[in-house]
Amino acid sequence: MNFDPASHPGLNWSVARDSHLDDKVECFAVADTGNGLVALANINDDSAVITGTPGELRKLRDAFAAGQYDHLIGA
3 in Cβ contact with 9 (< 8 Å)? no
Task: Give per-residue pLDDT as tens, 13-58.
Answer: 988 776 665 666 678 889 999 999 999 998 888 888 999 999 999 9
pTM over 0.85: no
Task: Name residue 62's amino acid.
Answer: D
pLDDT value for 35: 95
* Between 63 and 74, residue with greater pLDDT: 63
Residue 1 scores a pLDDT above 90: no
27 in Cβ contact with 13 (< 8 Å)? no
* Between 37 and 75, residue with greater pLDDT: 37
CA 36 to centroid of chain Cα atoms:
16
> Three-state DSSP class for 61?
helix
